[in-house]
Amino acid sequence: MNQDTQGPGSDTQTQHDQHGRWPKAESVEDFRRNLATVHGRIAAACERAGRDPASVRLLPVSKTVEEARIRLAYAAGCRYLGENKLQEVSRKWDAMADLTDLKWSVIGHLQTNKAKLVARYAAEFQALDSLRVAEALDRRLQAEGRALDVFVQVNTSGEASKYGLHPDETAAFLRQMPSFPALRVRGLMTLAVFSAEAARVRECFILLRSLRDRLRQDCPAGIGLDDLSMGMSGDYEIAIEEGATVVRVGQAIFGARNTPDSYYWPTDPGADSAA
Ligand SMILES: *Cc1c(COP(=O)(O)O)cnc(C)c1O
């Protein structure tokens, strides 16, 4: 792993120029090919960083993708899918309840009134960013008699449009986590700045990793910080070079989305929404 931007992977560029041009997967074969391509790039990034490819989990992100194509991805071997919005994924939970070994990771901001759904149906929640949500989730999980793997989301880009704790608040937040026994904290999650400048993107990932390394030194018992969920279609290779253990990849597997990113991450007024 690189200690700074001069490391062996420092030439790796973002793939943000692919934006809107990822080919749409419309058959099981298409999915197999796209998954193989992404796995190949993950392996190459691991090689550059001197890491074992088995230390990186690929989480395919199926938001905006309709049921029929999700079933093709399932047929191609996907058993774990990421979704950003509760309204959308709860419809999918109903429609695809027959796929009993398909697990769902909720990777987007959660409102407390939706905590019950996550507690009941999700296998993982990656966007924990407030004590209110932690409390609501923990209460609902206890009622369901289950525990949930969670990631604490940190805002590493400093953009007001991105969710997540300020890096400086994270230590205090983690100290509260033992009060929520149904939440199994696995690590930290972030979204990098959407920029074609690889160095700026890389800074976000370095920040999350160094924050994790620091927090690990006096982490409360039972709180795991092994995992770093960072990197998406445009930047997962850089994220892996900087220590990602989970990459959340949508468009490079499913194809370009029609929904603009501003739907998920409202841009600041006047900011360039094309990012
Ligand atoms: C949509 C989304 C991703 C994946 O983005 P792609 O550009 O489709 O790879 C990753 N993380 C979060 C939180 C998302 O909402």
Q: Which residues are CB-neighbours of 263 under 8 A, at least 6 positions away?
A: none
Counting from 1 in the atom list of ligand 1, the atom nearest the Cα of 250 is 8
Q: Cα Rg for the chain, rounded, in angstroms?
A: 18
Ligand 1 site, residue 108, Cβ cutoff 6 A: yes
Ligand 1 site, residue 240, Cβ cutoff 6 A: no
Q: pTM here? A: 0.92
Report CA(268)–ligand 1 centroid distance (Å).
19
Ligand 1 site, residue 163, Cβ cutoff 6 A: no
Report CA(114)–ligand 1 centroid distance (Å).
20
What architecture is the 16-252 domain classified under in CATH? Alpha-Beta Barrel (3.20)
Distances (CA, A) of 62 to 148, 250, 255: 21, 6, 10
Report CA(108)–ligand 1 centroid distance (Å).
9
| CA gap 170, 174 in Å, rounded | 6
Ligand 1 site, residue 233, Cβ cutoff 6 A: yes
Q: Is 64 left (phi over 0), alpha (psi -120 to 50) or beta?
A: left
Ligand 1 site, residue 34, Cβ cutoff 6 A: no
| CA gap 183, 206 in Å, rounded | 26
Q: Which residues are CB-neighbours of 179 under 8 A, at least 6 positions away?
A: 138
Type of residue at 165: L
- Per residue of the chain (275 residues), what is the pLDDT tens digit? 444 444 556 789 888 776 668 989 999 999 999 999 999 999 999 999 999 999 999 999 999 999 999 999 999 999 999 999 999 999 999 999 999 999 999 999 999 999 999 999 999 999 999 999 999 999 999 999 999 999 999 999 999 888 999 999 999 999 999 999 999 999 999 999 988 899 999 999 999 999 999 999 988 989 999 999 999 999 999 999 999 999 999 999 999 988 777 777 665 444 443 33
